[in-house]
Homo-oligomer: A and B are copies of this chain.
Amino acid sequence: MGQFFKISAPPRIVGYAAVVGPKEAQGPLADEFDIIFPDDTMGQKTFEKAEGQMFLAAMRRALEKAGLLAEDISFMIGGDLLNQTVSADFTARDIGIPFLGIYGACSNMAESMILASMLLSGGYGQRALCVTGSHFSTAERQYRFPLEHGNQRTPTAQWTVTASGCTVLERKDGAKGPRVESVTIGRVVDMNIKDANNMGAAMAPAAADTILDHYRKGSLPPDYYDMVFTGDLGSLGQQLCSTLLKENGLSIDSRYGDCGSIIFQGLKNVGCGGSGCGCSASVFNSYILNGLKKGKWRRVLLVATGALFSPLTSQQGESIPCIAHAVGVEA
């Protein structure tokens, strides 16, 4: 079972930013993003450096929107999909903030906010920065095939989002912004799916597990959240998650969306939708937080999902262990 916690002294989201590549700007959320890079090299020599460039841009814009400098931040929490999480590592060096590295695959956005909220509310530090992201071209060549291969994709495959998102949290009387009110730390769920091109199906049971735990342990009615957003299940995974929730007595279809389904809605050749750490990170730090700000919703649950496998474990015949972490944000 997941571990639900009510946050005793809820920190506020005082700054946030989402930066994306050109493909993401073709989707329905173009007007929500803070920065759109016109080409996916971000002016860098390698795609890995391009990914780091997005991290820095997201962090700097989020700090700017919060009216803060890097030295105002007590610590940053970040991670990414690359081996040894080098995008977070190198940008932590560049920005110079004390750094706690995490790895939760595409659940990073929620994991970093869970940790930051609990640490701040416990009295450790005044402000924390949470950052993650992904890049189609770094993920594709690390997890799947060389880009030059131009490989055909299966119908259940998803398209890694090229984006980074950053959230700045603050605990201080008088701080303004949505509050992180409750969290659920997920447990690892593995339904023995081995197809690395069907992440939605692999991750859906973990998402359902965490959502059910969050509602049950928080004693929340089904309509407590105006919207529940899973991170990157895609269209197939979203259907599976919805089915699993209903089978366990929780019907929230009318108030359930998936960041991976939303970000590429209407686009062709993206399979079941978006994936990658940048998927929930960019949708949360634009569309979702903008929606809370505008009063479209009052309470939102972000359930970022991660597939905790590696190309090597797949080669060794292992299944795909998955996790989902939930963050309840209230305006």
Question: Are A312 and B83 closer than 8 Å at their CB atoms?
Answer: yes
Residue in B closest to A80 when the chains form the complex, CB atoms: B103
Q: Determine whether the beta carbon of B99 is less than 8 Å from that of A323.
A: yes
Residues of chain B contacted by A185 (CB below 8 angstroms): 75, 98-100
Q: How far is the CA of A221 from the CA of B3 in the complex (A)?
A: 40
How many Å from the CB of A317 to the closest CB on chain B?
9
Contact of A102 with B100 at beta-carbon distance under 8 Å, contacts A310-B84, A313-B86 already known: yes
- Cα separation A311 to B190 with both chains bound (whole Å): 30
Q: Tell which of B1, B48, B123, B321 touches A312, judged by Cβ atoms closer than 8 Å.
A: B48
**In the complex with contacts A99-B187, A118-B119, A185-B75, A48-B104 CB distance below 8 A:** no
Interface size in chain A (residues, C-beta < 8 A): 58
Task: Select the residue from A101, A114, A186 with max chain B CB neighbours within 10 A.
Answer: A101
Q: Are A84 and B308 in contact (CB under 8 A)?
A: yes
What separation, in Å, do the CA atoms of A220 and B3 have in the docked complex? Answer: 37
Contact A118 B122 (CB under 8 A): yes
Instruction: Kindly state the separation between the CA atoms of A8 and B85 in the bound complex, as whole angstroms.
Output: 31
A188 and B89 form a contact (CB under 8 A): yes
State in angstroms the CA–CA spacing of A45 and B315 once bound together.
13
Say whether A96 faces chain B, with CB atoms less than 8 Å apart.
Answer: yes
Q: In this assembly, does A60 line the interface, its C-beta being within 8 Å of a C-beta of chain B?
A: no
* Closest-CB distance, A84 to chain B (whole angstroms): 4
Q: How many copies does the complex hold?
A: 2
Q: Scoring A residues 67 to 90 as 1 if CB is less than 8 Å from chain B, else 0, what string do you get? A: 000000011000101111110011
A310 → B minimal CB distance (Å): 4
Interface pair B100/A190, CB less than 8 Å apart: no
- Name which residue of chain B comes closest to A97, CB basis: B187
Residue on B nearest A1 in the bound complex, by CB: B98
Contact at B2–A90, with CB atoms within 8 Å?
Answer: no
**A309 close to chain B: CB less than 8 A:** yes
In this assembly, does A20 line the interface, its C-beta being within 8 Å of a C-beta of chain B? Answer: no
Any chain B CB within 8 A of the CB of A93? yes
Question: Residue A318 at the B interface, CB < 8 A?
Answer: yes
A111 at the interface (CB under 8 A from B): yes
Q: Residue of B at shortest CB range from A143? A: B84
A281 to chain B, nearest CB (A): 16
Q: 19 other contacts beyond A46-B316, A98-B187, with CB at 8 A cut-off?
A: A3-B75, A3-B125, A83-B310, A83-B311, A85-B103, A90-B313, A90-B318, A90-B321, A92-B187, A92-B188, A93-B308, A98-B185, A99-B186, A99-B188, A102-B103, A103-B103, A115-B115, A119-B119, A121-B122
The 5 residue pairs across chains A and B that have the minimum distance between CB atoms: A122-B122, A89-B308, A93-B188, A84-B310, A3-B98
